[in-house]
Amino acid sequence: MRAIIYTRYGPPEVLHLAEVEKPAPQDDEVLIKVLAASATKYDTWTRSSTAPPGFWLMSRIGSGLRRPKQPILGTDLAGEVEATGKDVTRFKKGDQVYGFSANLGAYAEYICLPAEAVALKPSNLTYEEAAAVPYGALTALLFLRKANIQHGQQILIFGASGGVGSAAVQLAKHFGAEVTGVCRTAKLDWVKSLGADRGIDYTREDFTRNGQSYDVIFDTVGKISIPHSRRSLKKTGCFLFATFGIPTLVQMLWLSMRNGPKALIGLVEAKTEDLTFVKELIEAGKFKAVIDRCYPLAQAADAHRYVESGDKQGNVIITVANGSSA
């Protein structure tokens, strides 16, 4: 089968098209013919071996000290079930599905995933649109549930135009929160179109100096300092960090020694019930799949360059095979 692989860490040019062995499903797995995958910031960090501050060595041990252990990147995907392991009863050959691979591998024509990491694709989405959903939606859902977001609460989402941020805007609105999205000037109107009640251009305004306070401050891109931002968080509120480094962990320890707000981190995992929850929101018209650009599989390096440019709105998709019809 065809796949985009990389055998050394480095710039987007290390990605190249190759023929690799087609996988076979274990008893609890499904073999999926991948029609579309998402190029995420996590993929670019893994490829370039650039982890958040303080986590480089840990990340390198996990992904391979001298060379990548997993030569195929990609966490988000959508496609069709090709075969199932003997213990899988939820899916059958031909089912249209979408899912999340914690162990990467989505930049390929086929992938095997545990059945619990897959759900039926939203019926009103193309494969490309469905592949834009899992990581952002699952991450946003995880953190908003951790914060126990409530109707009427005030939430500020920093990095509201990215894959996680755009999902967080929509899910926070679904849960009834009042949403302030922080992003660049050119993306403010777009973020408001997703449901944000207010927008802040971080290049022109420091949200910590506008006198507003929030129940939740959700940093989706790892740019917020807790000491600097604490004044903007209510005493009963919490910080959420989808991306964090050692400095943030030190700041969290400092915060934990004081009475007042708390800070939460977490790692996303795929669960069929969460993917199904998001699927139902999408089919009800309450959540949009957000695509900025699509690239064919052979141009995965170009997709990575665009992700790293910081210009994207929403998600960047790699089309693995022809499957654009819903």
Q: Where are the domains of the chain?
A: 2-133+289-319, 136-265
DSSP-assigned states of every residue in 46-115: HHHT-PSTT-HHHHHHHH-SSS-SS-----EEEEEEEEE-TT--S--TT-EEEEE-TT---SBSEEEEEG
User: 226 is written with which tokens?
Assistant: 């807790």
What is the structure's pLDDT at 218?
98
Written in H, E and C, the secondary structure of 181-194 is: EEECHHHHHHHHHC
CATH classification for the domain delimited by 136-265, as one of 3.90.700.10, 3.30.160.20, 3.40.50.720, 3.10.450.100? 3.40.50.720
Q: What percent of the chain has pLDDT over 70?
A: 97
| Residue 218 burial (10 A CB sphere; 0-12, 13-18, 19+) | buried
**What is the rounded distance in angstroms from the CA atom of residue 319 to the CA atom of residue 36?**
4
Q: How far apart are the first and last CA of the chain?
A: 24
Claim: this prediction has a pTM higher than 0.75:
yes
pLDDT tens for 123-158 read 999 999 999 999 999 999 999 999 999 999 999 999
3: helix, coil or strand?
strand
Q: What is the mean pLDDT of residues 299-312?
A: 95
pLDDT tens for 200-252 read 999 999 999 999 999 999 999 999 999 999 999 999 999 999 988 888 999 99
Nearest to 270 by CA among 95, 133, 87, 153: 133
Region 2-133+289-319: CATH code: 3.90.180.10
Q: 138-155: string of b/e by CB count within 10 Å (b at 16+)?
A: bbbbbbbeebebeeebbb
Nearest to 128 by CA among 193, 91, 75, 79: 79
* Domain 2-133+289-319 and domain 136-265 have a common topology: no
Q: Residue holding tokens 């500020």?
A: 156
Q: Which residues contact 198 (CB under 8 A, 6 or more apart)?
A: 179, 180, 181, 192
Q: Do 175 and 144 form a contact (C-beta atoms < 8 A)?
A: yes
**What is the rounded distance in angstroms from the CA atom of residue 174 to the CA atom of residue 150?**
10
Q: What is the mean pLDDT of residues 1-14?
A: 97
**What is the rounded distance in angstroms from the CA atom of residue 136 to the CA atom of residue 142?**
10
**Tally of CB atoms within 10 A around 6:** 25
